[in-house]
Amino acid sequence: MKRVYFFLPLFSLAFFACRKTPDTTPLTVGFVVQTAKEPGANFSNYKTYYISDTIALKTSNPLDSLWFDSDAKQLVDAVKTNMDARGYTMVTSNHGHPDLGLGLTVIEDLNIGVIYPGWWWGYWGGCYWGYCGYPPYYPWYGGAYVYSIPTGTIILDMIDLKNAGADGKLTVPWGSVMSGGLGYTNDDLQLGVEAINQAFEQSPYIQSH
Amino acid sequence: MAMKKIIITSILFVFTATAFAQKNLFGIGWEINFPNNTDYINKTSLSGGKIEYRHFFKKNFSAGLALNWATYEEYLPRQTFVKPDGNSAVTSDFVAQSYQLPITATAHYYFKETKMLKPYVGIALGGQYLQQSLYYNVYVSDDDSWGFVARPEVGVFIKPNQFKEWGFLIAANYSYATNKTELLDLNSFKNFGITIGVGFWH
């Protein structure tokens, strides 16, 4: 009987193990889409917007800074399509005094250990036309990478140009961070377009009227 | 900190008491747990276990220590979660996992024993470690916490032979813990549990 006393706890611990690794195979490849708006922001105050065809690009290559080919245009067009559908009018140049400035940034990096958009936005600065934006509060959950694979992150910022203060500071009434692993499908770009559509879908308050 | 004191005091109490041991019981078991938390994992967990020690101060009363553990897991299809203030939202599918580890001091009262059955009621009080994890796309977010836990329990030892010092154990408990999970806006963790095991005493 004494022997049983000795072995049972060991057997028991080994059998049940402390913690199972979860089965993550059901997870889909769709980007995680987060959106945040400034509390109290009223989107019907704005009627026009401008977005550049150029996307700010951050990769492990320090020479990367701009992305403006046809692929980049697909992401920009996705933003335009959604903004138009919500009743906003695109002005053809940033000299046309748009109410809102939209900016896209894409990060492709193997080496970012943890994404904290709070840190991110500070790093990137969100500066437009000489103004620097205040990032809205962003409720990121502090996720870490599980797998060592290429990942992509798209950041979409909406900047209030209409109410630019004399001090040169801007507010960011809305923003989205979309991210996920790359290389799971033949068309990572499509994941980006779907993520931008989702960002607007989960933000029904973005309406010009 | 207060929780640590309670646990340490309980451990000292029980181990001091064993110096006067007349009768001790050691139990192990498999645990099936049914989470009872609104708007989170609902799926039954089959991955749980228990180790416990009881010291009998009287024929019908024992005090002891118990260690339980359980892993809950559920796939949550792609959906949009909106924060209560309506200002922020996140869309993804998730694999949600909760890992529960209550460490408790126990007290049990035993009803009249028959040749085959030794029924009891009990309470377990102590601290519970809880780790809540959300896996999504290629990411994971974790939140771990300690809380106070109370686990009332009913159970019975079924003795195949009244002269042998062992019996099968079947028990049911309800567990309420005060673990707060900021990640999920949860302020407690509740579950029902069933234990199927075996107990040895001498």
- Looking at residue B4, its pLDDT comes to 54
Closest-CA residue of chain B to A24: B95
B28 with A9: Cβ contact below 8 A: yes
Closest chain A C-alpha to B151 CA, distance in angstroms? 20
Q: Which domains does chain A have, with CATH numbers?
A: 46-201 (3.30.160.670)
CB pair distance less than 8 Å for B99 and A28: no
Chain A residue whose CA is closest to B97: A22
pLDDT tier, A197 (very low <50, low <70, confident <90, very high otherwise)? very high
Q: What percent of chain A has pLDDT over 90?
A: 23
Tell me what pLDDT residue A166 has.
Answer: 64
Q: Tell if the CB–CB gap between A32 and B92 is shorter than 8 Å.
A: yes
Is A179 in contact with B139 (Cβ distance < 8 A)? yes
**What is the nearest CA distance from B131 to chain A, expressed in angstroms?**
10
Residue in chain A closest to B164 (alpha carbons) equals: A1
CB B119 within 8 A of CB B142: no
> Average pLDDT in the A102-117 region?
60
pLDDT in tens, chain B (202 residues): 455 555 444 444 444 344 334 589 999 999 999 999 877 899 999 989 999 999 999 989 999 999 999 999 999 999 998 877 788 888 999 899 999 999 999 999 999 989 899 999 999 999 999 999 888 888 888 889 999 999 999 999 999 888 888 899 999 999 999 999 887 778 999 999 999 999 998 8
Q: Which of B48, B101, B42 is nearest to B75 (CA)?
A: B42
Nearest residue, CB atoms, A39 vs list B49, B87, B94: B87
Is the Cα torsion angle B53, B57, B62, B64 positive or negative in sign? negative
Q: What is the DSSP letter of A63?
A: T
In chain B, what residues touch A139 (CB-CB under 8 Å)? 83, 88, 90
- Taking CA–CA distances from A23, the nearest residue in chain B reads B95
**CA pair distance B86, A203, nearest whole angstrom:** 9
Binned at pLDDT 50, 70 and 90, residue A123 comes out as very low
Q: For residue B45, what is the nearest residue in chain A, using CA coordinates?
A: A20
User: How many Cβ atoms sit within 10 Å of the Cβ of residue B39?
Assistant: 9
Q: A145–B137: do the CB atoms touch at under 8 Å?
A: no
CA distance A201 to chain B (A): 10
- Packing angle of the helix pair A70-85, A188-201 (nearest 10 deg): 20
- Whether the pLDDT of residue A145 is over 80: the answer is no
Q: Are A20 and B47 inside 8 Å of each other by CB?
A: yes
d(CA B30, CA B106): 18
What confidence score (pLDDT) does residue A146 get? Answer: 52
Ranges assigned E (strand) in A53-209 = 55-58, 66-67, 89-90, 100-109, 127-128, 131-134, 144-145, 151-160, 169-181
A207/A6 Cα distance (integer angstroms):
69
Contacts of A34 in chain B (CB under 8 A): 88-91
The pLDDT, as a whole number, for residue A208 is 94
Cβ <8 Å between B137 and A33? no
Which of A26, A147, A202 is nearest residue B138 as measured by Cβ atoms?
A147
Contact A196, A206 (CB under 8 A): no
Indicate yes or no: CB of B51 within 8 angstroms of CB of A180: no
Distance CA A91, CA A98 (A): 6
Question: How many of the other CB atoms lie within 10 Å of CB of B171?
Answer: 23
CB pairs under 8 A between A and B: 124
Q: Which two tokens stand for residue B135?
A: 């896996």
pLDDT, tens only, A161-186: 888 766 666 677 888 888 888 877 77
* Segment among A106-110, A134-138, A198-202, B196-200 with least mean pLDDT: A134-138
**Which residues are registered as beta bridge partners of B26?**
B53, B200
The residue count for chain B: 202
User: Do residue A16 and residue B49 have CB atoms under 8 angstroms apart?
Assistant: yes
User: In the structure encoding, which two tokens stand for residue A48, read together?
Assistant: 């026009």
Tell me which chain A residues have a C-beta less than 8 angstroms from the C-beta of B131: 19
- In this complex, the residue of A36, A39, A202 whose CB is nearest that of residue B80 is A202
**B184 min Cα distance to partner chain A (Å):** 9
Instruction: Tell me whether residues B49 and A15 touch, CB distance under 8 A.
Output: yes
Within chain A, residue ranges assigned H as helices are 2-16, 70-85, 117-124, 188-201
CB neighbour class for A128 (10 Å; exposed up to 12, middle 13-18, buried from 19): buried
Instruction: Report chain A residues whose CB lies below 8 A from the CB of B92.
Output: 30-33
Rounded Cα distance between B154 and B139, Å, is: 41
Res. A81: pLDDT tops 60: yes
Candidates B78, B88, B202; nearest CB to A36: B88
| Unique residue bearing structure tokens 């009987």 | A1
